[in-house]
Amino acid sequence: MSSIELRHVRKTYENKVTVIEDMNLTIDEGSFTVLVGPSGCGKTTTLRMIAGLEDISSGELLIDGVRMNDVDPGDRNIAMVFQNYALYPTMSVRDNIEFGLINAKVPKAERDRRIAEFSKVVGLADYLDRMPSQLSGGQRQRVALARAMVKQPKVFLMDEPLSNLDAKLRTQMRTELIALHQRLGTTFVYVTHDQTEAMSMATEIVLINGGKIQQADAPIKIYNDPVNKFTAQFIGTPTMNVFEASKLPDIGLPQGVAWCGFRPSRALLVAPGEVPPVSSLTFEGKVAIREIMGSEIIYQLDASFGRVSFKTFNQPQVEVGETVTLTVDRSSLYLFGADEKRVRL
């Protein structure tokens, strides 16, 4: 296992476009750290700098306290799993897994031992003599994982490895990667644009936007306690409802509040005759869209100040076109200033 530290790291390309600005980040030893953010935010560039596939324009990269800026990728004791698997199509599964070990001059007996061990870990023990073309997408991804694992690296780097899989297989592979991390105890650094993937897998999420870290925290912390408007709206499905505070019903919000938000799960239907507390945010609107997800139903409602998402759980359906009243307890509101930073109640 290894810890990773980026100190004042900057990445500027020859066209003078800066992708990463003054990044300071510590990735703890043995963590499953997920770098997440919108396309073009700099997360893959960060991963590639850790791998040594991109030069660092300024700042320092340390692995286990050792400066890595000028160390070749092959000497960093890391393994990377790519989005497209990067398997050799003319080699069998066994040969694909073994190729890197041969180049590293690992003895034959040790190569065989590792291939047997890790092919079993990823469920490929019966597929070693097959060609990549004979495998499903999930099986090919397992080959890529086994090829990385047999190197026994201190760090696994993964660049959107599940993005080419269908939804059902992605869910299955997420579960397998969580179990794999728990079994190996190795440092995982994983890149994705999918915040659901990040929430379900990570021990720590690093949310990046515009080359800057917005927040780095445990998943539940980043969900429950976002530090700014971007984080609040990026993490969570459906996204947090956020509106200009001046357009909402007046409930006596503190001065300096420019934006007010709430999670869809915190907007509750008001039953006929029910009177919500005067301190709560209460409003009515017409149901525009209904998505039935089983016991959970997601609605979109047109209120006077904008489109609102809300959820119900194990409750009777509300009809599209029906006018309903929603209430949000004051303690469930998220407030942000004009600079979009969090304002505490």
Q: Residue 57: which of 2, 4, 17 has the closest Cα? A: 17
How many residues are listed for the chain in this entry?
Answer: 345
Amino acid at 315: Q
Q: Does domain 238-343 have CATH number 3.30.70.100?
A: no
Strand 58-63 relative to strand 66-67: parallel, antiparallel, unpaired?
antiparallel
Contact between residue 250 and residue 297 where contact means Cβ atoms under 8 Å apart: no
The pLDDT tens digits for 176-216 are: 889 989 988 899 999 999 988 999 999 999 999 999 999 99
CATH number among 3.90.280.10, 3.30.360.10, 3.40.50.300, 3.40.470.10, domain 4-233 = 3.40.50.300
Residue 1's pLDDT is 65
Domain spans of the chain? 4-233, 238-343
Q: Residue 122: which of 143, 148, 98, 151 has the closest Cα? A: 143
DSSP state of 341: B
The pLDDT tens digits for 48-82 are: 999 999 999 999 999 999 999 999 998 999 999 88
The pLDDT tens digits for 11-52 are: 999 888 999 999 999 999 999 999 999 999 999 999 999 999
Average pLDDT score, the chain: 93
Residue 107's pLDDT is 94
In this structure, what are the phi and psi dihedrals at residue 182, rounded to the nearest 5 degrees? -65, -35
Residue 156's pLDDT is 93
Q: Please name every residue paired with 159 in a beta bridge, in sequence order, or none if there are none.
A: 191
State mean pLDDT over 120-144.
90
Domains 4-233 and 238-343 share a fold: no
